Each structure stands twice: as C-alpha cells, then as structure tokens.
A and B are shown apart, each in its own frame.
Chain A
Amino acid sequence: AQTVTQSQPEMSVQEAETVTLSCTYDTSESDYYLFWYKQPPSRQMILVIRQEAYKQQNATENRFSVNFQKAAKSFSLKISDSQLGDAAMYFCAYRRSGAGSYQLTFGKGTKLSVIP
C-alpha cells in the first residue's frame, strides 16, 4: 500500500520569506500523481499544485513550486514571498495513475504559521 509521510508537523516562516515543506512517499508504481492541498482555518480543502510523475519538469503555480525527486520519492513544496493568507495546514497527497484505484492517500499534514 502507498504511504505518504510529512515529517514536519509544524513550521513557521516570516512574512515575505521562503519556506519549504517536505513530503516523502512510498510506492511501487511508476506512474502516479502527487498533490499539495491547503486547508485554512475555514477547513476547505484547496488544491495548491499537482505533479505528474512522468514529467521531469517541476510544477509551479505563481509563488508555489515543487521539487519532485522521483528516485528519492520526495515531493517538497516551496512557498516564496510568504503571505499571511498562506497560514494553513498543508497536506501532501498521492494517487495512482489510470483506472482502478482512484483514492487520494494523504499525509498527516504540516501546520504552517506565518509571522508578520
């Protein structure tokens, strides 16, 4: 079974600074998808960024980017120019590619605080 590990239960960053959240996963599959979801205090799950395993290029979305290391099974999220609104729980998630197994497997989450 696939597992997702987020080793940092809590992190903090100064406003306007850069922070990196770590995620590792375990799978025997060669094709899969990885996601970062943000959960602010409202509890809404918001998709931040996604990465297809077959793509070598790291995904970016504005201030958010990932460092995808397939061989190391590592998928970290970098937040640049941190803003107060970035304060939230961040979940790393894995999903197999293709039909047959559709569910997301989540890590335990990292709580990010942004210090003004």
Chain B
Amino acid sequence: DSGVTQTPKHLITATGQRVTLRCSPRSGDLSVYWYQQSLDQGLQFLIQYYNGEERAKGNILERFSAQQFPDLHSELNLSSLELGDSALYFCASSVATSVASGRWWSETQYFGPGTRLLVL
C-alpha cells in the first residue's frame, strides 16, 4: 500500500458526460501528479500540483482540468468524454521539504491504485 488513495476504483459512463476523479496524497506529501495509461499512448503525464498551485502540464487535453485543495487532495475533471478517454488514471504524490540551505524535492513518486474509466 503506497499510502495514496484514489476514488472511485472503476467508473463507467457515456460519451459526452463529465466525471471527477479524486486523489488523496500520502500524509506529508505536497505534490500531486496525474498520469493517464492507455493501450495506445502508454503512460503519459497529465498535470502536477504543488501545495495548491499548478506546477507543470503535460499532454492534458483542454477538456480535462484539475485542482488541488487546501487539504492537499486533488481532483481531475474530465468533460465531454470521448471513447478514446477510456484509460487507467493514476495519481502519484511526492514530498517537498524546505531545509535550512534551501528547498529540496523528493524525487520518488508513489502511485495510487488508479481509477479505471470506461466511456461507452
């Protein structure tokens, strides 16, 4: 168990609909990352949040958006769903800690169990 939780585990919906995926990072982790795993595209980075702020964007569609809340949980919103959005969506978290000499970043990301989305 990585300590990262994701809900729901499975989601079945129809084209054109909107869904929200939720992620709770490990205790103490400030960074949350979202990845999409599909058969044709493999594992792709979507977006990263650090302590409530967007920090990096990858191959995220305009129909997708995310946010990180004050309690550090994150939500990934997928709208106007298409058949090709069917995939496994992972959330990962890592810690960033301020130290006396500056800020350092943990380089290891721990993954949640994923949300399997099926668009029919």
Number of interface residues, chain B, beta carbon within 8 A: 26
Residue from A50, A97, A101, A102 having most chain B Cβ neighbours under 10 A:
A102
CA distance A103 to B42 in the complex (A): 14
- Contact at B42–A109, with CB atoms within 8 Å? yes
Main secondary structure of the interface of B (DSSP, over half): strand
Interface residue stretch chosen among B12-20, B21-29, B71-79, B111-119: B111-119
Residues of A within 8 A of B31 (CB): 102
Residues of B within 8 A of A33 (CB): 107-108
Q: For the complex, is A78 an interface residue (Cβ under 8 Å from B)?
A: no
Q: For the complex, is B68 an interface residue (Cβ under 8 Å from A)?
A: no
- Contact at A95–B58, with CB atoms within 8 Å? no
Q: How many A-B residue pairs have CB under 8 A?
A: 58
Q: For the complex, is A25 an interface residue (Cβ under 8 Å from B)?
A: no
Residues of B within 8 A of A72 (CB): none
Report the contact-size class of chain A (Cβ under 8 Å from the partner): 20 to 34
- Contact at B33–A103, with CB atoms within 8 Å? yes
Instruction: Using known A-B contacts A102-B105, A103-B45, A105-B45, determine if residue A45 contacts B111 with beta carbons closer than 8 Å.
Output: yes
Residues of B within 8 A of A52 (CB): 107
Q: Which of B44, B58, B105, B113 contacts A44 (CB 8 A)?
A: B113
CA distance A111 to B7 in the complex (A): 27
Q: For the complex, is B43 an interface residue (Cβ under 8 Å from A)?
A: yes
A89 to chain B, nearest CB (A): 10
Q: For the complex, is B110 an interface residue (Cβ under 8 Å from A)?
A: yes
Instruction: Using known A-B contacts A102-B31, A102-B48, A103-B56, determine if residue A44 contacts B114 with beta carbons closer than 8 Å.
Output: yes
Residues of B within 8 A of A90 (CB): none
Residue of B nearest to A45 (CB): B111
A52-B107, A97-B107, A102-B55 given. 4 additional CB < 8 A pairs?
Answer: A43-B113, A99-B105, A102-B56, A104-B43
Q: What would 13 A/B residue contacts be, using CB atoms closer than 8 Å?
A: A33-B108, A44-B111, A45-B90, A46-B111, A47-B108, A95-B107, A99-B103, A99-B105, A102-B94, A103-B33, A104-B43, A104-B109, A108-B42
Question: Which 7 A-B residue pairings sit nearest by Cβ, starting from the closest?
Answer: A103-B45, A45-B111, A106-B43, A33-B107, A102-B48, A108-B42, A102-B56
